[in-house]
Amino acid sequence: MKWNKYTLKTRTEAEDLISSMMQDAGIEGIEIEDKVPLSQREKEQMFVDILPEGPADDGVAYISFYLEPDADQEEMLERVREGLKEIAGWGVEIGEATIQASKTEDKDWINNWKEFFHQFYVDDILIKPSWEEVKPEDREKLLIQIDPGTAFGTGMHETTQLCIRQLRKFLTPETELLDVGTGSGILSIISLKLGAKHAVGTDLDPCAVEAVRENMEVNGIDPTSFEMMIGNIITEKEIQDRVGYECYDIVVANILAEVLVPLTPVILSQLKPGGVYITSGIIDDKEDLVVETVKKCGLTVLEVTHQGEWVSVTARKEQ
């Protein structure tokens, strides 16, 4: 089915008021496009496969909404125009407030990402989605099946691949792993498939729970070998206590550099003496920031690796 799409050009400072007005007018869903930089809180809630820097904010926002063909288009547009006049009357800068009409196909937005995710390799590991078949020549490879759903983490991003390669260097059959910002669970799943003893994952996104459960199941992971926790390990003492102290041989954090800075002193308490801290999600111009943070926390830098414009820093907690 084709929908009628309407896109309003306005100013970023008017986004919230206009969004509320549209909801009051009976519009059930909107999309907002702008170039407003992420807040610190938003950055803390974003785990890889997202770039830390965006384009410069130009103050312009586009608010799109969709109406079914049989809806009264003119009546709804009139409600929106009247709402815009009212907001402007409050002295709010709404910009040119033009509305452009177009048509769009009905889409399955939740599953749309699937067309961009195909099987690929990280050295001798084959990572594939459930809807693709294993080629005959790949049957001897270590197979990891990942369907991220709405949680981050397919493994395609350079930061994830950097972590995978570092994990392989330090994993043993006795490894207790803490995976901070676990997303789809890919790093924990690979670690367990490579022989790690047990893993704990933390994430802020409740969507990660179902994504991890499904991915663990399809990869034949024993449910008792993995524990999932939702919460902020940086700020929530309850999560820190549940995770446990000096329990982990390896802590892996594939998170943006801005989050690694406050995370590192916390993680120090979770690592066993002699434990290894593997970080990634670091854009190359933030390498020095993370290295300095790691050193200030008393960790010894073992290795700094690069892939594309991304960096992984691996360090050890002294005995």
Name the β-bridge partners of 99.
Answer: 8
pLDDT in tens, 162-179: 999 999 999 999 999 999
pLDDT at 71 over 80: no
pLDDT at 50 over 60: no
The two structure tokens encoding residue 64: 């799109």
pLDDT at 210 over 90: no
Average pLDDT, the chain: 86
**% of the chain exceeding 70 in pLDDT:** 87
- In this prediction, residue 295 carries a pLDDT of 97
- Amino acid sitting at position 136: P
Q: Which residue has the tokens 């009409």?
A: 101
**% of the chain exceeding 90 in pLDDT:** 49
Residues of the chain with CATH 3.30.70.120: 2-105
H helix and E strand count, the chain? 9, 14
Residues of the chain with CATH 3.40.50.150: 112-316
Q: Is pLDDT larger for residue 32 or for residue 240?
A: 240
pLDDT at 275 over 90: yes
Fold (topology level) of 2-105:
Alpha-Beta Plaits (3.30.70)
Q: Kindly list the distances between the CA atom of residue 116 and the CA atoms of 79, 144, 158, in Å, as whole numbers in the listed order.
A: 38, 18, 16
Fold (topology level) of 112-316:
Rossmann fold (3.40.50)
What band does 69 get if pLDDT is binned at 50, 70 and 90?
Answer: confident
Residues 97/8, Cβ–Cβ less than 8 Å: yes
181 is in an annotated binding site: yes
254 is in an annotated binding site: yes
- In this prediction, residue 150 carries a pLDDT of 41
The two structure tokens encoding residue 105: 């196909």
Q: Is pLDDT larger for residue 251 or for residue 26?
A: 251
How do the residues of the chain divide into helix, strand and coil, expressed in percent and rounded to 5?
35, 30, 35
pLDDT at 12 over 80: yes
Q: Across the beta sheet with 125-128, what order do the strands follow? A: 120-122, 125-128, 142-145
pLDDT at 153 over 60: no
pLDDT at 48 over 70: no
Half-sphere exposure of 288 (CA within 13 A, CB side): 1
10 is in an annotated binding site: no
Task: Please name which of 273, 228, 278 lies closest in space to residue 250, comparing C-alpha atoms.
Answer: 278
